[in-house]
Amino acid sequence: MVFIMSLNEYSDSKFCNRCGILLIVGDNWCKSHKKFYNYTCKGCENIRVKNRNYITGRNKPMYENKKCSSYLGIYISEQVLSKVFNNVEVMPPTNPSYDFICNKGKKIDVKSSCIRIDNINNVKYFKWNFKIRKNTVADYFLCIAFDNREDLNPLHVWLIPGNEVNRKQTASISPSTTHKWDKYRINIDKVTECCNKLKEENK
């Protein structure tokens, strides 16, 4: 669906002064930013704050800090995708809803998760949680399941069509249900090789 703005609507619109995205209060623009005429989207503001913290020494750069929430999702997983898939168009970090466009023109959102343990009534449940957030824009979700943040060994990789999971906030897969996703499984050899190389480079 294509939305066409009138000339008046366009002239009254505000755009991020860093990435140029249309600013929408409550979506990608904070009310406080609008109040103080700060034309920066949430994504660019987050990057600015992180960069400031790196410079001041408060935080390590993302590629050195395994505790950073973006380490798995952006650095490891997206590096994997760009090396395993040929001829991908990489989106900027502030691009909403998807991370790459593949050579077939499909929008791919990268998701990653380390296995987590939930203890319910003294019974342990193991699962990977992939944050989908009801994203209906991406055509596919590349979901990479790691063992843990320390070792970062990929155990499973699935390329899941959007219509299979895009109604969910979170797609959970447990070790006992991985067979249900076999038709979306992709070869893990290149992913493992790429992850090992990345880990070696960052020792």
Instruction: State percent of the chain over pLDDT 90.
Output: 26
What is the rounded CA–CA span in Å between residue 178 and residue 156? 9
Total residues belonging to the chain: 203
> Which pLDDT value is given to residue 92?
77
> For the whole model, what pTM was predicted?
0.64
Task: Kindly tell me the number of DSSP H helices and DSSP E strands found in the chain.
Answer: 7, 8
Instruction: Of 60-64, 125-129, 158-162, 180-184, give the lowest mean pLDDT range.
Output: 60-64
Instruction: Look at residue 172 and give its three-state secondary structure.
Output: strand
> Which pLDDT value is given to residue 5?
47
Q: Domains along the chain? A: 7-56 (no CATH), 64-201 (3.40.1350)
pLDDT (average), residues 96-106: 87
DSSP β-ladder status, 107-114 and 140-146: parallel
Task: Using the predicted structure, report yes or no on whether residue 133 has a pLDDT greater than 70.
Answer: yes
**Per-residue pLDDT tens for 36-79?**
778 888 888 777 766 655 444 444 544 455 555 455 555 666 66
What is the rounded CA–CA span in Å between residue 50 and residue 60? 9
